[in-house]
Amino acid sequence: MARVRLVEVARAAGVHPGTASRALNPEARDGVSKQTVRRVEQAAKELGYVPNSMARGLRTSRTMVVALVVPDITNPLFPPIVRGAEHVLNAAGYTLVLTDTNNEAETERDQVRALRGRGVDGFIVATARWEDETLQELAEAEVPTVLVNRRNGAGSFPFVGSDDRHGVRLCVEELADLGHRSILHLAGPPNTSTAASRAAAFTQVAAERGLADVYTASADSYSEEAGEEAAAHALHEHPSFTAIVAASDVLALGAQAALAARGLRCPQDVSVTGYNDVDYVRKLTPPLTTVRVPLRREGELAAETLLGLLDGGSSVPTQLLLPVELMRRGTTAPAPAR
Amino acid sequence: MARVRLVEVARAAGVHPGTASRALNPEARDGVSKQTVRRVEQAAKELGYVPNSMARGLRTSRTMVVALVVPDITNPLFPPIVRGAEHVLNAAGYTLVLTDTNNEAETERDQVRALRGRGVDGFIVATARWEDETLQELAEAEVPTVLVNRRNGAGSFPFVGSDDRHGVRLCVEELADLGHRSILHLAGPPNTSTAASRAAAFTQVAAERGLADVYTASADSYSEEAGEEAAAHALHEHPSFTAIVAASDVLALGAQAALAARGLRCPQDVSVTGYNDVDYVRKLTPPLTTVRVPLRREGELAAETLLGLLDGGSSVPTQLLLPVELMRRGTTAPAPAR
DNA sequence: ACCCTTGACACAATCGTTTGTGGAGTCCAG
DNA sequence: CTGGACTCCACAAACGATTGTGTCAAGGGT
């Protein structure tokens, strides 16, 4: 059963295809009589007409497709974002293509180029590095793009993220209130905005609270192994820490592994906080104290922002920071007496 | 900077667009001299020619896009599948669109229809129910489709999954070997193939091992809450169980919750096994004994199968069952003396 | 010397929409 | 009764590729 085309609908309604096209398109329905619109719609419904989006795309050069670029869909940070974005995109008639860059700048570049060739209308990018050539390409070509979760240095794109500084503040203050004076910040890889702003917030808040014995160690990536390694090294140098503020949940897990390796208990000996409140960390024992980030909402807002860009034209790049919340759980406790 | 079209490449190479098209297409390169092919390729590269996939799609009615349908990308079961599928699809020049049905049959139907309208070349479906109208529609329209993880009753599509029966056998035998005689099977929702085959395997193996006191309880969905409820109910009726074989990891978590609610410890009082070996269950305390399923491989194979369908035409529907492996961890222990 | 084959390319139709333009009809005012 | 002003629609040209069918020349066989 071949697909029914616009011509058939037009014939059934006794009008010219062009007229049928306008009748079906709410934007252009002005020049068509109500009568005709009804007849065409009727015919379309009866024949089960589904417009051929390639023909349409060819003519209008809009595909109604947007791409979402993530480093690794396996990382529980991203599925909620994907979900949120897909939800609002679908509602607006867009289709979401997901692309997983495997955390490699090169694959990312290739993927994005391929997608551009496919005529994708816009990008939501969750992989931004601080210096990011892919994003630069997109900027130069003026491809509608919005950044989510992380941003780049150039700052030429709208960005939807969360209030990193406040999140870290919550952690540090909580720990300070619990009596901790000697705190390690386990930061993310330096080429990411999240790592940078969280680290900056850490030193600032530590200073505000008069914490003198603080230190920042950077992990090479947002992975448990990198976290463990960085934490182990830092703990070796500065065994005095009684608390660790990790820049992400997986880093916190790495930190806990490093503590365990040194025979330190969490939270009795050393408190640990995570970041993101990824799905499962509340089920661990002890459940991880962490900062809840509204990931799904980020995805939704990123999509909405992109939609705005797509039909509204370009406005001033928005920078949207969603509020975060401290989830007090089992990995934080009063500083041990020494 | 407008995109360069085939005409421009042709002009640059001094040939007709039609010839340029053939020169660039490895399939049709026969009727073109090596000389010309080289000139055209050269020109294409210099001008940075990227074919307009909509124009091409309109003409060839192939979009080089396949859709992957998942119930909930937030469920850690699916990201590895997505990843595997995307990997092989990309390598073959295809683009993957992800669609999350939110576990609702109706959204699924709508999404699939919309995607069909978009001219998607094929589907990989991970949401199959035993009786599935969406799949029936796809079958009737003869849309290239392969099922992954779960299959439907009709069996009209190729399927890539894992050896459910063997996985359950491993669990039951392990528990029997540990001395358990009274085992509960916490099954998934009855309209899924995974639930059915795992439950069938359970009763079969239990019979083989001469286990008399066995019972199967079905959860309404693959969710922790449903698992807890079903397990709580079963434990209320049959307090004698010393082990639970859950049909999925999240169900196992639900079962553990139900045990805790009754004041029973795992594994000292009751052993529990999960299924799938989803990413984080090994980090729980105690780490979950479960069946490892090669999810990523499933995704890869599903994609390969679909590719075969797409250019090879239709062969006999394959049913591919990957081997599984028991991960002995902390939630299984010898049966307590009574 | 003639015809036929064959290789290499040009030509033009085609995929299914959208959209600028023109034309037929109607209505009302001058 | 004529001439605008409208309304509603038909016509046809795009969009950018692919592909069946010609065409032309060169080459080879007899």
Could you read off the pLDDT of B121-175 as tens digits, one per residue? 999 999 999 999 999 999 988 899 999 999 999 988 999 999 999 999 999 999 9
Q: How confident is the model at residue A210 (pLDDT cuts 50, 70, 90)?
A: very high
Q: Answer yes or no: do A53 and B119 touch at CB < 8 A.
A: yes
Cβ proximity of A217 and A229 under 8 Å: no
Q: What pLDDT score does A338 carry?
A: 62
Distance from CA(B39) to C1'(D17), angstroms, rounded: 19
Q: Is the CB of B58 under 7 A from strand C?
A: yes
Q: Which of B47, B74, B116, B253 to mutate to test the interface with A (most CBs of A within 10 A)?
A: B74
Q: What pLDDT score does A314 carry?
A: 62
Does residue A226 come out as left (phi exceeding 0), alpha (psi in the -120 to 50 range) or beta?
alpha
CA distance B119 to chain A (A): 7
CA distance B277 to B271: 16
CA distance A299 to A87: 9
Q: Please write the tens of the pLDDT for every residue from A108-133.
A: 998 998 898 888 999 999 999 999 99
Q: Answer yes or no: do A74 and B79 touch at CB < 8 A.
A: yes
Q: Answer yes or no: do B95 and A83 touch at CB < 8 A.
A: no
Residue numbers 196-225 of A with CB closer than 7 A to any atom of strand C: none
Distance from CA(A109) to C1'(D12), angstroms, rounded: 42
Q: Please write the tens of the pLDDT for every residue from A35-84.
A: 999 999 999 999 999 999 899 999 998 899 999 999 999 999 999 999 99
Per CATH, A65-162+295-323 and A164-293 having the same topology is answered: yes
Q: Answer yes or no: do A52 and B119 touch at CB < 8 A.
A: yes
Q: Answer yes or no: do B73 and A82 touch at CB < 8 A.
A: yes
Nearest nucleotide, CA A34 to C1': D8
Q: How confident is the model at residue A29 (pLDDT cuts 50, 70, 90)?
A: confident
Q: What pLDDT score does B314 carry?
A: 62
Which class would CATH give B65-162+295-323?
alpha beta
- Closest residue, CA to C1' of C10: B16
Does residue A232 register a pLDDT over 80? yes
Q: How confident is the model at residue B338 (pLDDT cuts 50, 70, 90)?
A: low
Q: Is the CB of B63 under 7 A from strand C?
A: no
Does residue B250 register a pLDDT over 80? yes
CA distance B319 to B158: 6
- Name the residue ranges covered by the structural domains of chain B: 6-51, 65-162+295-323, 164-293
Q: What pLDDT score does A27 carry?
A: 84
Select from A51, A57, A141 the Cβ nearest to the Cβ of B117. Answer: A51
Q: Answer yes or no: do A284 and B284 touch at CB < 8 A.
A: yes
CA distance A279 to chain B (A): 9
Cα B126 → chain centroid: 5
Average pLDDT of the segment spanning A80-93: 95
Torsion of CA A168, A171, A172, A177, to 10 degrees: 150
Q: Answer yes or no: do B58 and A55 touch at CB < 8 A.
A: yes
- Cis amide bond preceding A17, omega within 30: no
Q: How confident is the model at residue B114 (pLDDT cuts 50, 70, 90)?
A: confident
Does residue A313 register a pLDDT over 70? no
Q: What pLDDT score does B29 carry?
A: 84
Establish how many alpha carbons lie within 13 A of residue B163's alpha carbon, considering only the half-sphere containing its beta carbon.
10
Write out B234-297 in H/E/C secondary structure: HHHHCCCCCEEEECCHHHHHHHHHHHHHCCCCCCCCCEEECCECCCCHHHCCCCCEEEECCHHH
Could you tell me the strand order of the sheet in which A182-187 lies?
Answer: A213-218, A182-187, A243-246, A271-273
Q: Answer yes or no: do B53 and A285 touch at CB < 8 A.
A: no
CA distance B248 to B331: 14
Which residues on chain A place their C-beta less than 8 Å from a C-beta of chain B? 1, 50-55, 57-58, 61, 63, 65, 72-74, 76, 79-80, 82-83, 86, 90, 95-100, 111, 113-119, 141, 253, 279-280, 283-285
Question: pTM to 2 decimals?
Answer: 0.91
Select from A72, A98, A253 the Cβ nearest to the Cβ of B98. Answer: A98
The answer for residues whose C-beta is within 8 angstroms of residue A272's C-beta and 6 or more apart is A243, A244, A246, A252, A255, A256, A259, A266, A288, A289, A331, A332
In CATH, the number for domain B164-293 is: 3.40.50.2300
Select from A55, A79, A280 the Cβ nearest to the Cβ of B73. Answer: A79
Cβ proximity of A228 and A250 under 8 Å: no
Does residue A316 register a pLDDT over 90? no
Average pLDDT of the segment spanning B97-120: 90
Distance from CA(B30) to C1'(D23), angstroms, rounded: 19
Nearest nucleotide, CA A23 to C1': D9
Looking at strand C, which nucleotides approach a protein CB closer than 7 A?
7-20
CA distance A63 to chain B (A): 8
Neighboring chain A residues of B60 at a CB cutoff of 8 Å: none
Neighboring chain A residues of B141 at a CB cutoff of 8 Å: 1
Q: What pLDDT score does B225 carry?
A: 94
Select from A55, A111, A285 the Cβ nearest to the Cβ of B285. Answer: A285
Does residue B27 register a pLDDT over 70? yes
Q: What pLDDT score does A329 carry?
A: 97
Does residue B259 register a pLDDT over 90? yes
The answer for residues whose C-beta is within 8 angstroms of residue B338's C-beta and 6 or more apart is B242
Average pLDDT of the segment spanning B8-14: 93
